[in-house]
Structure 1
Amino acid sequence: MPTALITGASAGLGAEFARQLARRRADLILVARSVEALDHIASEIRSEFGVAVEVLVADLADERDVERVAARLRDTSDPVDLLVNNAGFGLPLQFADNDVDDEVRHLRVHVEASMRLMHAALQTMRGRGGRIINVASVAGFISRSTYSACKAWLIGFSRWANLEYARDRVSVTAVCPGFTHTSFHERMGLPPGQEGVPAFMWLDARDVVREGLRDAARGRSVSIPSFRYRAIVMLAAVLPDSVTSGVARRGRV
């Protein structure tokens, strides 16, 4: 059976990726910082779906932990068929007011860790085949502090890598959801209903993951779940940055 490694798997989109992949009979390697949360979801999935679930506790802001996860991806004796780079967190949009060490950690988790894990996965996937999903955001298409910059990097690199490694039977897809009901916003101190975002703009995590997996299976380099967000991205491409960045100050994506 195929094996999928998912970072940020203890909650939110990562946990939903785990459930939907387990439903498709994939064995799982779940990566996150919290051993209790990982053990809980691993036990849940084993019981419900009967697949093998390996737990790997790691903080992807720590280079040594990133290397441990990378080593698992390079293991040819039990190769990984799908890597889901999902781990991440948000910061307030006022860059100059944030602690610079928090900003560096933010960059390491979103960009450096994703790059290192992609590099490791490609060592065993090339020629054999495999898929890589990078969870980005529609924020990557607009001007919105360092979160947008990190997600823009993921989108741009995924587009190139999907073309470059297609010859090796490896697809790379950036999944770019908009506002999605997960614990992401609560961890930033924004309880439900207080994000300043209209109800119709919110997506369900199950729909985001289902569309992302579908587009990855089709070999698409970019997946934007829901028609309304695809329309927003198209509109953002022709509007001046002064307009899109002003709108983007509301809520968190």
Structure 2
Amino acid sequence: MGTALVTGASAGLGLEFAWQLATARHDVVLVARDEERLTRLARQLEAAAGVRAEVLVADLSDRADVERVAERLRSPQRPVGLLVNNAGYGLNQEFVDGDVRAEEVALDVMVRAVMVLSRAAAGAMVPRGRGAILNVGSIAALMASGTYSAHKAWVRTFTESLAVELRGTGVTATVVNPGFTHTEFHERGRIDMSAMPDAVWLNAEDVVAAALADVRRGAVISTPSLRYKAVSAIARLAPRGAVRSVGRYRRPLDEPAAD
């Protein structure tokens, strides 16, 4: 069934991607910083699905580590048929008063690494005439909520541009744009989501299943769930002033509300 490489595979959507790909009989290359989590996951996948699970420990904010992952994607002896650029996180700070170094690290992980790894994957896939690149974006790409929105807007436009360039090669590019999804994402980012109603939340299993189905049919834009398809349509058609009016900074969990 081929091999899939998943970044950010130790938690959240990346973990779900690893499980669904393995149970579909794909060998997997698991990329993340946490070696203990990756090793445990690899053993579980091999035992449960009977596939090969390779561990590649890498910090995608580190250029040398990104190059090691890129080299794995370029390997002609062990070809990768699907790249899932999933690694990312919420940087819960205001830009003007925040830590600019933290902003640079987030940019490295969610923009530069996506570009470098997509280039490595496409460069190996195009000569073979087959393959797929799946970039995890967000509905936030259409909003105005901090630099995370900016990062995901880049991912969305980059993926669309890559899809145009790859047309006719047998290689596809897809960007999945989930809305609020039950994972560790908000907890790890210390983002207070307690005011969000249950109706806005998606399940990771459904998001990943929809994304992989869209990859299989060659879709460029994947927006899981009817509710977020509607949100996406409204955000694209609404005046940008209206979109900006609902953009906001989310208070960290340990930061008190203003009086």
Q: Same fold per TM (> 0.5)? A: yes
Q: Distance in 2 between matches of 1:133 and 1:196?
A: 31
- Return the offset for 1:238: 2.3
Q: Distance in 2 between matches of 1:125 and 1:244?
A: 38
Q: In structure 2, what is the equivalent of residue 45 of structure 1?
A: 45
The one-letter amino acid of 1:179's match is F
More deviation, 67-76/231-240: 231-240
Percent sequence identity over matched residues?
49
DSSP-derived class of the 2:207 partner: helix
Q: Distance in 2 between matches of 1:173 and 1:44?
A: 28
The one-letter amino acid of 1:206's match is E
User: In the alignment, does 2:236 pair up with 1:213?
Assistant: no
Q: In structure 2, what is the equivalent of residue 154 of structure 1?
A: 155
DSSP-derived class of the 1:89 partner: coil
User: In the alignment, does 2:244 pair up with 1:242?
Assistant: no
- Return the offset for 1:245: 3.0
Equivalent pairs, count: 250
How does the TM-score come out when normalised to structure 2?
0.93
- Return the offset for 1:197: 1.5
DSSP-derived class of the 1:168 partner: coil
Q: In structure 2, what is the equivalent of residue 124 of structure 1?
A: 124
DSSP-derived class of the 1:132 partner: strand
Deviations 1:8-56 (A, max 9, x none): 0001100100000011100000000000111111111111101000000
Q: In structure 1, what is the equivalent of residue 184 of structure 2?
A: 183
Deviations 1:195-220 (A, max 9, x none): 42111000000000000001111111
- Return the offset for 1:127: 3.4
Q: Distance in 2 between matches of 1:227 and 1:163?
A: 26
Q: Distance in 2 between matches of 1:45 and 1:250?
A: 38
CA contact (8 A) 2:42 2:55 kept: yes
Q: Distance in 1 between matches of 2:244 and 2:99?
A: 22
Deviations 1:141-183 (A, max 9, x none): 1212111111011111111111211221110000000000000
Deviations 1:115-157 (A, max 9, x none): 0000001121003210000000000012121111110111111
How does the TM-score come out when normalised to structure 1?
0.95
Q: How does 1:81-120 map to 2 (within 5 A)?
A: 81-120=81-120
CA contact (8 A) 1:175 1:224 kept: yes
